[in-house]
Amino acid sequence: MVMDTIQIRLMPVLVERIDTLVKTGVYGSRSDAIRDAVRHFFWHNEAGTISKKGQSVEVVRKARRQLSKQKINLAEINKF
């Protein structure tokens, strides 16, 4: 999967907290932690189905597998 690159600025205290998660092995990198936070944000606000505890990666992968089996009409989706 091709991903876009973005630059963000965070307060030092947030970077320290992310670094702690990486150092303790919760995440493999800062990028992994931030991607997971973004997933949590969108899933919580749009679907409301992912717990705020733990990583959402497996939940997202499972949802992708399920969605990949469904026929999706992109024209219909892109109207929004």
Tokens representing residue 41 in the block: 């944000």
- Residue type (1 letter), 38: V
Tokens representing residue 8 in the block: 């963000």
Which residue spans within 1-80 are E strands per DSSP? none
pLDDT digits (tens, 9 = 90+) for 33-60: 999 888 888 776 666 555 556 666 677 7
Q: How confident is the model at residue 63 (pLDDT cuts 50, 70, 90)?
A: confident
> Hey, where are the domains in the chain?
12-78
